[in-house]
């Protein structure tokens, strides 16, 4: 994006980069299972705040195009509800955009069940998220067959060796967003609905299947029929485009140019 003339800012959400403990690294599973997690103290508001603050700080430099991928759609949708006047476009790259129901309900839907992510992850969960207050995944405990299932679900374009790098560097803990009223940030017609919004559909996505992506689009279009999603398509798995970013960069380039023209 920089080579195309755009200024970009990657927002680190709370807990990202927290890393892992010695027990996890050494696969001392008894100790690992009993360890506390920084993610247990992270709230939905903690995720929304840095997005809002980043937009507020960069807005005076020019038009703001807010881009979300996967889980990032939740705090971005909440931020768009809060400060629609500061955002020129919101772009969802196979990202969550809840409209008609709690975010966790989509994850339990038949559309999401058609994918491979949760079935591939199930053997690696450690403990009970409802009791712990966070989700813990033993990525390093995956055997070769489990890693292959995860690779196909998350980044099928990667080789086995490339995906192994993903597994060994992934932190095990995540916030528990599937339940709880605090995570219920749905797109609001009168705020989020005022902002031009785009959706990049990932056709090879087996983590957030195309049927789920299309459901988000359809529900949002029904919410704001006069401001429907501007839809783009990309041949990519859920995370494969990170290794081949040129096609997505071309889409974001065009959308950024349009946002700039619209703000003048």
pLDDT of 136 higher than 80: yes
Average pLDDT over every residue of 95-117: 92
Q: What is the pLDDT of residues 172-184, one digit of tens each?
A: 999 998 888 999 9
Q: For residue 262, what pLDDT is reported?
A: 57
Query: pLDDT at residue 13 above 80?
Result: yes
For residue 25, give both structure tokens.
Answer: 């690294």
Taking residues 105-129, what's their average pLDDT?
Answer: 90
pLDDT value of residue 180: 86
Instruction: Tell me the two tokens of residue 75.
Output: 């705090």
**DSSP sequence for 130-157:** HHHSEEEB-GGG--HHHHHHHHHHH-TT
Percent of the chain with pLDDT over 70: 98
* Burial category of 21 from C-beta neighbours within 10 Å (exposed 0-12, middle 13-18, buried 19 and up): middle
For residue 147, the Cα-to-chain-centroid distance in whole angstroms is 21
**pLDDT score of 260:** 67
Task: Give me the pLDDT at residue 168, please.
Answer: 85
**What is the value of pTM for the model shown?**
0.94
Say if residues 156 and 204 touch (Cβ distance below 8 Å). Answer: yes
Which pLDDT value is given to residue 106? 93
- Distance of alpha carbon 238 from alpha carbon 250, whole angstroms: 18
**What 3-state DSSP class applies to 94?**
strand
Task: Give all domains of the chain, ordered by start, each with its CATH number.
Answer: 22-114+178-263 (3.40.50.1820)
Q: Report the share of the chain in percent with pLDDT over 90.
A: 78
pLDDT tens, residue by residue, 34-77: 999 999 989 999 999 999 999 999 999 999 999 999 999 999 99
Burial call 147-164: b when 16+ CB within 10 Å, e when fewer: bebbbbbbbbbbeeeebe
* The pLDDT value given to residue 190: 97
**pLDDT score at 264:** 41
Digit-coded pLDDT (tens) for 190-225: 999 999 999 999 999 999 999 999 999 999 999 999
């Amino acid at each position: 994006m920089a080579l195309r003339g755009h200024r970009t800012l990657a927002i680190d959400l709370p807990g990202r980069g927290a890393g892992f403990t010695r027990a996890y690294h050494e696969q001392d599973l008894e100790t690992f299972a009993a360890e506390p997690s920084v993610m247990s103290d992270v709230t939905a508001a903690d995720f929304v705040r840095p997005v809002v603050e980043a937009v507020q700080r960069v807005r005076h430099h020019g038009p703001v195009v807010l881009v979300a991928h996967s889980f990032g759609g939740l705090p971005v949708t909440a931020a768009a509800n809060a400060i629609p006047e500061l955002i020129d476009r919101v772009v969802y790259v196979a990202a969550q955009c809840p409209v008609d129901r709690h975010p966790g309900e989509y994850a339990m839907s038949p559309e999401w069940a058609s994918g491979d992510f949760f079935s591939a992850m199930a053997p690696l969960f450690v403990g009970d998220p409802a009791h712990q207050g966070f989700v813990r995944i033993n990525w390093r405990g995956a055997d070769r067959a489990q890693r292959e299932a995860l690779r196909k679900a998350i980044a099928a374009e990667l080789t086995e060796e490339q995906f192994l790098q993903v597994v060994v560097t992934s932190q095990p803990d995540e916030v528990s967003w599937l339940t709880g009223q605090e995570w219920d940030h749905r797109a609001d017609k009168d705020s989020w609905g005022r902002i031009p919004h785009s959706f990049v559909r990932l056709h090879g996505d087996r983590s957030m299947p195309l049927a789920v992506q299309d459901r988000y689009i359809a529900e949002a279009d029904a919410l704001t029929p006069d401001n429907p999603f501007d839809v783009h398509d990309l041949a990519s798995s859920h995370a494969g485009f990170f290794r081949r970013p040129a096609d997505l960069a071309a889409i974001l380039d065009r959308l950024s140019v349009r946002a700039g023209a619209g703000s003048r």
